[in-house]
Structure formats: C-alpha cells, structure tokens
Chains A and B, each alone.
Chain A
Amino acid sequence: MGATPLLEIEGLTKTYPGVVANEDVSLTIQPSEVHALLGENGAGKSTLVKIIYGLVRPDRGTMRLNGAPFAPASPSAARQSGIAMVFQHFSLFEALNVAENVSIGMETPPPTRELAHRIREVSETYGLPLDPHRLVGDLSAGERQRVEIIRCLLQNPRLLIMDEPTSVLTPQEVEILFSTLRQLSADGTAILYISHKLEEIRTLCDEATILRRGRVVANCNPREQTAREMAELMVGSALQSPGRSNVTPGAPLLELKGLSAKSSSPFGSELKSVSLEARRGEVLGIGGVAGNGQDELLAVLSGEQRVEPDAIQFGGAPIGHLGPNARRNLGVLAAPEERLGHAAAPEMSLTENAMLTGSVRMGLSKSGFLNWGQARAFAEDVIQAFDVRTPGAGNAARSLSGGNLQKFVIGREIKQSPQVLVVNQPTWGVDASAAAAIRQALLDLAEGGAAVIVISQDLDELLEISDRFAALNEGRLSAFRETSELTMDTIGLMMGGAHDMEVAHT
C-alpha cells in the first residue's frame, strides 16, 4: 500500500492527573482498512479514540489525515473531516423516535420525511432493518446500535470508529454487522474497531494495534495470531480460562411450567409458555437475539413481574405470586442487565446499593430499621472479594467504570449465597480478565450446589460456562440441550425460530 495513509498518528501522549492514559502512541490506518484496537479496560483505548474524535486534546504528538495535519477541536470538526463514531453506550433519547434521534446528531438535518426516507434507504442498502418511526425506548440494544450506525453512515464517513459494537449482538446480528462493515470497507471507508472479542477481530480485521497501560505493546495481523496469543499480549501475562470440576446435577430447584406473561413495555416480547427446570449444581444458558424476551424473563424470575403462583416453583412450592424480597428470602436472586438504574441506583453509594438487594438476606434491616454499619461491611466485603476498583464503599455507583460496577452487582448477589441465581448479560462491556473472574464466580457458585441461570447474548460465554443451553425467540424458549452436543449450526437454528422446524424434523 504505497498510497497516503488515511490517518497517521505519531507519538500521542495524554496524561490526566495521576494517570498516563496514552504514552507515545503511534498507529497508521490505510483507506479501506479494518483496523482493530485491542486492550483491557483502562488500557487507553477510549482516550485514544476520543483524541481522534476531537473530544480530548493530546498533550503531545501529531495526527495527519490524508497527509494533512489534523487536530480536531471538537467532535463536529472531526465529523466534518469524515470521522464518525459509534459509542459503546448509546447517546439516544428514549422518548424520541428513530428519525428524531438521528436528526439531533446532524449538523443540518433535512426535513423529517426526507430523513425517514434516507434512513430506510441506508438501512436497506446495508442490511440493517430499522423503522424510522419507532420510539427508541421500545428498541432492543441491538436495534439501538443500528440507529447509531445509521446516524454515522448518513454522514458518509471516511473513518468509522466502533467501540465494542458486538457486545449486545448475537451471531446472526454480528454476521449482519460484519457484512455491513465489509461492504463499507469495500466502498473505501476505513474502520477502527475496538473490541475484546478476539475471534471476531480475527475474522474481521486486517490489522491490530494492542494497547497496554497506555502504550502500544504490539502491532500484528490478527489473522496470523491465535486468540490466546493476542489475549496474552493484552493482559501481559498468561490467561486463565474458567475451569470447574464436573458436578452431577442434583434435584430440580426451580421450575417454570408453561409460564406466559405479558410484557410491561408495549413493544416488548410477551413470554409464551416458557418451561424450564434448573437443578442444583448446574448452569443453564439462555441465548437469543436481544429483545426476544430476555428482560421479561428476568423480571418474571426476579419477582418484579408477578405471575400465577404455580407457574414458578421453587423446591416444589409455588412462588410465582411472590415479590422480589419474598423470593430473596427464599434464596432466589437475580442480577438484571442494565447496571445503572436497574441493578444499581447511580447516585447512591455502594453501601446504599448493597442495601438495595441485601437488606432481607443479609439481615441489614431489623423491623424496618436499617443497619448502615452492617451494610457498609457487606459492601466492603463484596468490593474486596470481587476486586471492585473504587476508593471506597461511600462512592456513588455512577463513579465506577462499567466493568467494576458489574463486578459489584454480580458479587453482591453471589455473596448472599443464593440457592438460585439468575443473571442477564453478566459480562456486558466488561474486559477480558474481569469477565473471566465473573464467569469463574458463577461456576463456583454452581459447584457449591446452587442453580445458576445465565441469560446472555454472548454465545462464547454460554458455551464456555453452561451445562445446558436453550434459546429465546419471540418470547418462546426452546428445549434445553446439553451444551457439549451443540454445534454453531444447531444454535443458530434454536435462536432463529427453529421451533416449527424441530416439529418438522421429528
């Protein structure tokens, strides 16, 4: 490639008080190239990307775009130079529809009708189905990401930056996204792709830059490296895979029998005749495309949404009518997907957030009066046991990074020694070593005799830790299969509405 590189970065350094976020970082992106940026949380990926996108000014170093000096003063300057970015955390207004959200991000939005037309056009060209008139509040995470991508594509970018784009997608959605990205790259757009998922990077990317503690530790062609080699470059040491001794599952602990429930959201998925049986000592994996009833299933299992008493049985006793605290009392615990605002209250301290689910089971309250000393001790216990990085239990939940808060939220439930634990997306947006720690903790919990139900859109995760696997599709749960017998093909069938086909096969 003798042509001028699209983007050249030379010796970028950015320090924050007490932290060197980037030190002497250099990298080069060619036109049409799909370039991976790898590193653990806190390795400096975000800072680097924010510099490129004009959100942060570097202390030292230069950037050149198409050979010309490039120092964007603001994101809008970066956008005008042809750089677009899809953030990991979506910046969308739930109360507005898709077209309105897209128009807010534009410098000069066209009339809504025309915009809606263009959204449809782009979404069809790139195979990202999206209705411009739907409310964002009713969209699944995967669909929200499409809104962000289309918002970027409408600007015809020369460089598209994607931060952890597949963490909310399923194989089918990932495939769609990848063919979109390949199509873009074939059209001449370069892509800077940030991810922890090494297999994906190996299939998609042409080049990879690996960051560790703010420095570039390696440049490589991901197709010539194994995922393990890249992971070890990222972490800087040998990686431990979660492991467990084989446990024979015990008696059934939690049973769902033909449970049906309406969704609380008008566009959510209704649960239709869901049956499952979770036994002591096993991990059940539930996969499925985002928005197919995962949130509803968690709400029904946690007790946020009540159902017929007999629809859910715990140790043979009906518990469908019980609320969250009555279930906690029995030992049925849950950790929802959305960390901020659902699993934890953002403005409250970790101590208060420990009280949030721990008050019943940890005896943090006595006839309604709260024991803050004990709550603090419980929070500190969780922080220590799960290596949550925070100055202390008095800090607000929102001041923690996503991965650290996730460790806290999962740890808070595990530390209450549940009989049954239901988790939704336990490692969403969490870096590799923290994700491994969370998975190990879930496995240890099962080994200790609890039944663990993991709802996730990360199939690798489910294949790694679950004993039996089923998929949610339009509110229906497929039959469970032994994970060891599964192939990617059968999983795809289970997720893609294979119920009718199964009938046809047998």
Chain B
Amino acid sequence: MMRLERRPEPSKAWTAATPILAVLATMIAGGIMFAALGKDPFAAIKLIFWDPLFNEQFAAFSRPQLLIKAGPLILIAIGLSLGFRAGIWNIGAEGQYIMGAICGAAVALAVYPLEAWWIFPAMVLAGAFGGFLWAMIPGILKTRFNTNEILVSLLLVYVAENILASAALGFLRNPEGAGFPGSRNLSAYPAASNPEIVAGTGMHWGVVAAFIAVIFAYILLNRHIMGFNIRLAGQAPRAARFAGVSPNRLILFCLGVSGALAGMAGLFEVAGPAGQISIDFNVGYGFTAIIVAFLGRLHPVGILLAGLLMALTYIGGELSQFMLGIPSAAIQAFQGMLLFFLLAADVLTNFRVRFGRVEVA
C-alpha cells in the first residue's frame, strides 16, 4: 500500500525538483495525447520546446516572440503572486490589463500628434493607475463590505471587456480610420510607441519592467517587512494580526500592486506589440499569468522561468498547429497539464511517499 506521510519540514530538494518533474510528466502525457490524435508525439514535443528557439527556419521569427509573450506574463504574475502568497485572490488581472491599456492609450490619443519626451512615461503612469483603480474596486468592496474578491475581480473582467469594445468602437476610435473599429496605431506615433529596444530580441520596455519587477519582488519578499507580512498573512492569518499586520491594508496593497502591474503590462502591449486599442486587443495574458504565478511557485525567480516556459509553449503551440495541424484545444490541454502536474507533484514537497504498512511516528 502507498501512503503519504507529512514531512516535518518542506523538502528543499523537492521544491526545486518538482517543476522539472512536472515538465517531464507533461511531455509524456502530452505526447500520449498527441499520439492519440494521430500526430507524431516526438515531432510535436520537439516543435513545442525546441524548434522555436533553435530551428534555423523558425527561430529568427519565434525567438523575439519569446520575450514579447513572456514580458506581460511575468509582469502580471509577479503582481498576482504577492496577493496569492497573502491569500488574496485577484483573478481579474485580465480586466486590470485592459483598463491599463485604455487609460494609457487615452493619454497618448489625447495629446496626439504632439511630440514630447514625457508622453511615454505619462502613459506608463496612466496605465498603472488605470489597472490600480480597477483593482481597487474589489479591494474596497472587500475591506468595506467583506465581498469576495475572487468573484468581484473576475466579473469586472467582463465589464472591462465591454468598456474596451466601446472604446474601440466609440470614444477612442481612430477619426481617420474610415469608420473601422480600433484606435490610431500607437506604434506609428513615435512619442507614444513602445518599440523593440534591441532589434531582433523582442526586448521592449515592458520586458525591462518585468525584469525590474522580478528584482523588486525578490527584495520585497525576502528583505522587507511588507513581504514578510505578506507571507505571514498567507500562512497564519491570526499570527499576522498578532504581529501587527492590518488585514485591510494588506488587501489594498496586494490588489493595488497587482492591478498596477497588470495595467502597466496592458499599456506596454497596446503601445508596442499590439499597436492599437481594438475590440479583441486582450488575448488572455491576465488569466495565463495565474498559471505562470503558480508554475513559478509564487517565487519571483520561479515566475521569471515559468513565464519564459509558458511563452515557449504558446509559440511552440502555434508552430505545431501550423506545422502538424494539432488543434489549438489540444495545445490548451497541454498547458493545462503542465499546471496539473505541477500542483500534483507539489505534494512531494510537503509529504513523503511511503510504501508498506500503516504506521504513524
């Protein structure tokens, strides 16, 4: 008989090993799924994990995509991870991302066609502020009326999507766009654009912001009292109150930071890779970032790696759709498996598997 026995201390070795184990298990289970779909599993796995980076034919296009896709995922996931660690569940980063993009783009469109150095920084601030305000709605409702932040933040995503549609069709529509939905193209407006900083790398200001966020989050969690309070509140809420942590202040801080970072990610996207406000401008980064945050086990460095890995499966997934005709649903299932196996393998960190008869020490 197989049993689980709680470890007195979480195992350090397994904490590091479980992500690798989860990726391997995903490859195996995903391979079986691809085989069942009648595709060559080895070719599919190679297309997803290897070819985007090293295939001579594809790499020139897909390598920059890695940072373009990973940047917003990491930036959003870092913000979310702070709240998740404290037991504050912001599920609505997608909405905050949209609102950040709209607010940031609105600044640029309001001053168009002015050329000035301060326009882009002002857009970044406006983007962060938009996401922050959108996250404050669940925050204030929770602290005032004890509403559930999971529901409120999630439902606000759909409100934000409708505001986005109305912006693209109405108040932010390009007046010279011949009636087509969508705003002016910000990437064609130099003072407001978020271009690739180093050609051919995909590095734009959003990626820089993501790296900075990783460093700041690391310092916050390990060296600062706020990060200590966040961890404490997540692990032992009563002990946190005893330590003098105000639960309400923590809720507002975590939601505010995650909202601001998601808003910034939205702005960098709308001013850079996406280029304009359009009806379907958002592509689900805010939701995928939840997976990234957990895949990175809520650790800043882990999130950095998880964001890159997730971006890789996106790019590789598209490639395999294109090359092998694997359905996109199968790619999503593949990404789901990754999270599933990671959470399952997590058990090994806190528990030890024992074979044999029942005995409790």
Chain A positions near chain B (C-beta within 8 angstroms): 16, 50, 55-57, 73-74, 302-304, 323-326, 328, 334, 336, 338, 341-348, 352, 355-357, 359-360, 365, 368-370, 372, 395-396, 398-399
Contact = CB atoms under 8 A, between A and B. Distances in A.
Contact of B8 (A325, A355, A356, A399): A399
A309 B241 CA distance: 19
Nearest to A303: B244
A359 B243 CA distance: 9
Interface string B244-263: 10100000000000000000
A344 to B, nearest CB: 6
Interface residues of B, number: 24
Given A50-B360, A57-B359, A399-B8, A352 B228 contact: yes
Given A342-B242, A396-B10, 19 more contacts: A55-B360, A56-B361, A57-B359, A304-B242, A323-B246, A338-B238, A345-B236, A345-B239, A347-B236, A348-B235, A348-B236, A352-B228, A355-B228, A356-B239, A357-B242, A357-B243, A359-B228, A368-B224, A368-B226
Given A368-B224, A370-B224, A343 B9 contact: no
Contacts of A50: 360
B243 A324 contact: yes
B357 interface: yes
Nearest to A375: B228
Contacts of A398: 8
A304 B236 CA distance: 14
A323 B244 CA distance: 6
A365 B235 contact: no
A369 B226 CA distance: 9
A359 B225 contact: yes
Contacts of B223: 369-370, 372
Q: Which 9 A-B pairs have the closest CB atoms?
A: A325-B244, A324-B244, A345-B236, A399-B8, A342-B238, A345-B239, A55-B360, A356-B243, A341-B236
A368 B225 contact: yes
Contacts of B47: none
Interface in B168-207: none
Interface in B215-245: 223-226, 228, 231-232, 235-236, 238-239, 241-244
A336 B242 contact: yes
A344 B357 contact: no
A185 to B, nearest CB: 29
A370 B228 contact: yes
B358 interface: yes
Interface string B332-360: 00000000000000000000000001111
Nearest to A358: B243
A345 B235 CA distance: 7
Nearest to B240: A345
Contact of B232 (A304, A326, A356, A396): A356
B224 A369 contact: yes
Nearest to B358: A74
Contacts of B358: 73-74
A343 B239 CA distance: 6
Contacts of A324: 241-244
A490 B2 CA distance: 58
21 contacts: A16-B361, A73-B357, A302-B242, A324-B242, A324-B244, A326-B244, A334-B242, A342-B238, A342-B242, A346-B235, A347-B10, A347-B236, A355-B228, A356-B239, A368-B224, A369-B223, A369-B224, A370-B228, A395-B9, A396-B9, A396-B10
A18 to B, nearest CB: 12
Nearest to B8: A399
Nearest to A47: B361
A342 B239 CA distance: 4
Interface in B36-73: none
Contacts of A57: 357, 359
A50 to B, nearest CB: 7
B9 A399 contact: yes
A496 to B, nearest CB: 30
Nearest to B350: A347
Interface string B1-40: 0000000111000000000000000000000000000000
B6 to A, nearest CB: 9
A147 B225 CA distance: 41
A22 B246 CA distance: 47
A344 B239 contact: yes
Interface in B150-176: none
A221 to B, nearest CB: 33
Contact of A396 (B8, B242, B244, B357): B8
A237 to B, nearest CB: 29
A292 B181 CA distance: 67
Contact of A347 (B226, B235, B241, B361): B235
B85 to A, nearest CB: 12
B357 A345 contact: no
Contacts of B244: 303, 323-326, 328, 360
A348 B231 CA distance: 9
A357 B239 CA distance: 10
